[in-house]
Amino acid sequence: QIAAEVFTTRGGAGPLQGLKVVVTAGPTREKIDPVRFISNRSSGKMGYAVAEAAREAGAHVVLVSGPVQIPTPRGVERVDVESAEQMLSAVQSNVVGADIFIAAAAVSDYRCREIACEKIKKTSDTLNLALARAPDVLATVSRGEHKPFLVGFAAETEHVERNALTKLINKNLDMIAANKVGDGLAFDKDDNALTVYWQDGKRELSLTSKAALARQLVELIAERYRARGQT
């Protein structure tokens, strides 16, 4: 009983045994007013599958999640957030002591410059929403003092490889998992395919269920994480 409890909270055998992994998942929402918001099509399925796979691989997993309708994977510690700013803050408190940070959330790039306290009435025919950059969670962790092994995601509608490699270098990541998105691709689907890039390598993970894909990705992360430790 006690052993099972320890297993549940501390992680068990597997390639990530003894490691603390922080995963983000889902979209974020940036308020326009108390009722309206800007968000994106991320379903959170990929991030949740990665959190579950990391847990199965023996890690202690903290899942920082935007608003999604998915049950928490067994043995995973979940922190719910809404905005990019809240996600950054939750990640910063949980990334301390973490070995690996996997940023699968689709964090809003822009937030509203002013949030209306009351619901905006539709009095005018047009409206201009002034947006400012939202905090970049992954880049902020990358610039931080205790930088874990960093895995990013790039969901792109085109120029997938170029955009992914730019992100890998600019944000100083250890790995990036890229996929093409758009009408009928990836979002809200149960299947996905990824191309994973790192400093001097690349691997294609072909179309399969997000659960199977997540296990392959986690295996690859464990492999690269250990390789980094050895150089």
Q: Please choose, from the candidates 206, 177, 218, the residue with its C-alpha nearest in 3D space to the C-alpha of residue 53.
A: 218
**Nearer to a second copy among residue 32 and residue 49 (C-beta):** 32
Binding of a second copy by 18 (CB under 8 A):
no
Site for a second copy in 38-57 (CB under 8 A): 38-41
Per the CB < 8 A criterion, the answer to whether 174 and 201 are in contact is no
- Identify the residue among 126, 206, 230, 231 touching a second copy (CB under 8 A): 126
Told to judge if 94 belongs to the known catalytic residues of this protein, a careful annotator would answer no
Using the rule CB under 8 A, is 1 a contact of a second copy? Answer: no
Question: Binding residue for a second copy (CB under 8 A) from 157, 170, 172, 199?
Answer: 157
Beta carbon nearer to a second copy, 65 or 94: 65
Q: How far is the CB of 133 from a second copy (least distance, A)?
A: 5
Select from 5, 125, 200, 204 the one that contacts a second copy (CB under 8 A): 125
Report the amino acid identity of residue 79: V
What mask, x for binding a second copy by CB under 8 A, covers residues 189 to 208?
A: --------------------
Q: Report residue 28 as tokens.
A: 């974020």
Does residue 80 belong to the site contacting a second copy (CB under 8 A)? no
Total residues at interface with a second copy (CB under 8 A): 37
Q: Using alpha carbons, select from 91, 42, 36 the residue that is nearest to residue 67.
A: 42
Q: Which residues make Cβ contacts (< 8 Å) with residue 149, sequence separation at least 6?
A: 99, 100, 101, 174, 175, 221, 224, 225, 228
67, 47 contact by CB (below 8 A): no
- Torsion (CA) 104, 109, 112, 117 in degrees, nearest 10: 10
Residues carrying an active site annotation: 40
